[in-house]
A and B are shown apart, each in its own frame.
Chain A
């Protein structure tokens, strides 16, 4: 059974059909790419999958659980975490606290425990620190742990967003243009990181990307969106050599 099984997903904004009959099956452990020209509806698909928008039709099943129409918070609890195209960090918090917010629902103590500094507070905080530093280490961010997130260079901010998403212990990780704004060196490094995340955390990843070197380098399968509809779907090599895809990208 596929980890993510999306059937005929669609949404209309007023009269505009932004996404139509979008179906996708992602197996556990796959690195899957979602590509397409600007305005094809890729981010809208992410927003549908994470409950930012309610789909007008279709269904989303994650690991056997129907999550269609659930809100963002419920969907995160169900096991989908994401990053954003325009980075959204908690800018005034430290790097490590950004990750600890991600750990919020996995390591719990009550507000009163925190205010009265009961033993459980210290115990849990220690565990959270340890776990957060482990995660930061994967992304080579442990030296910046106590700096404000807004002070990080661009590439590291993107990585921190991934670390924060992973902290929620998701089954599926959605990355929205993780390489946007990066130079070729940074992109190459990011590719390794994403692969490492998949391998170390046994993670399933769906990513939106424009950088073809990244897509062809790490994605095993691809779906191509054009004008809100699926153009084609399959193994990376096959999809990229499909003449229809080439036309969509390069124009007639």
Chain B
């Protein structure tokens, strides 16, 4: 008997294939020296933003809630892992051991915060969730920017006022220096590792969506009351998804912090959360592959076209408004759908296939 390939499986494998091809192409460019240093510097950030976009898309597209705190979770992942790496860099000198541990530390801390923040807010209506996650992101940013941590022979010193307030002994070392952040983090993030993490993120995301748990989460998104009536534990599944997305954002933060020598909390601001939202909206809500493609293009575009840099953020704003009106207004949407169908009809005789449901869209 011929085995049926489900549309979701097919879709995920196309995405894996595309990412793999892109990866090999970049590797060839690097080994033949055909890549500009500017583009080379963008490789890790591209992976970071792609992971963030996938993570936010799970929240927006699968869970159906808007989180504006993605930068906050990323910040927690970045800081916790940078602290970890700075503390163990003399004991564990091998990056291939140190970095995976750092990734776990960053991801787990972010997931913990995801659960802490998720418990009170996931019971609330969507608008509140957006505001609370935004508030949470700001709290994280402010607290880290005001945090001074150092250690000496007497142990750990923590202050929220100033470096002097720590009272470190002369042999002491600063770990977090307030608004100046953390410096000295080992540069463990390479493009290869970042690409592998992106690949794993995609596998996790697709497998999660296309499983018993993902189905439960999407059914809650579609109709909470019906989901309750068939006995689904709403809070559990919402929280689980929220923790997973926080974990992935935290991992993105780890890659980010280990890509630069120094790290400041001010990097993880509201604009970053909005940028990630633009990736998700432009790539299509619920469309994981689209998020990655949008993240890649929008990260490279401003670097390639310097002239548009001043209008970049204005363009993002317009993308959000226009995409939403075009996809959510019934009249405009049906206009597009009709014309796209006509367009497709010209090429495809066998249209029955395209009617098959696309999960998570």
Contact = CB atoms under 8 A, between A and B. Distances in A.
Interface in B216-238: 216, 218-219, 221-223, 225-234
Contact of A114 (B214, B226, B227): B214
B349 interface: no
B151 to A, nearest CB: 36
Given A76-B229, A92-B361, A105-B230, 18 more contacts: A73-B233, A76-B228, A81-B229, A90-B227, A92-B221, A92-B222, A93-B357, A97-B215, A97-B359, A104-B215, A105-B231, A108-B212, A111-B212, A146-B356, A164-B226, A164-B230, A165-B230, A167-B230
- Chain A, interface residues (CB within 8 Å), range: 35 or more
B208 interface: yes
Interface stretch (A12-20, A56-64, A116-124, A227-235): A116-124
A134 B199 CA distance: 37
Contacts of B218: 90, 92-93
B207 A114 contact: yes
Interface of B: 7, 204, 207-208, 211-216, 218-219, 221-223, 225-234, 240, 355-357, 359, 361
A104 B226 contact: no
A14 B22 CA distance: 63
Interface in A137-181: 146-148, 151, 164-165, 167-168
A104 B231 contact: yes
Q: Which of B211, B225, B230, B234 has the most CB of A within 10 A?
A: B230
Contacts of A113: 211
B115 to A, nearest CB: 14
A104 B359 contact: no
B225 A146 contact: no
A115 interface: yes
A88 B215 CA distance: 16
Contacts, number: 112
Nearest to A100: B215
15 contacts: A52-B225, A72-B228, A73-B228, A76-B228, A88-B226, A90-B219, A90-B226, A93-B219, A101-B219, A104-B212, A104-B216, A114-B212, A117-B207, A165-B229, A168-B230
A236 to B, nearest CB: 27
A193 interface: no
Contacts of B232: 73, 101, 104-105
A42 interface: no
B204 A93 contact: no
Contacts of A98: 219
Contacts of A100: 212, 215
A130 interface: no
B228 to A, nearest CB: 4
A94 B7 CA distance: 11
Contact of B357 (A73, A89, A107, A147): A147
Contacts of B225: 52, 84, 88
A151 B358 CA distance: 12
A73 B234 CA distance: 9
Contacts of A147: 355-357
A102 B219 CA distance: 10
A82 interface: yes
B230 A101 contact: yes
B222 A93 contact: yes
A223 interface: no
A192 interface: no
A245 B231 CA distance: 36
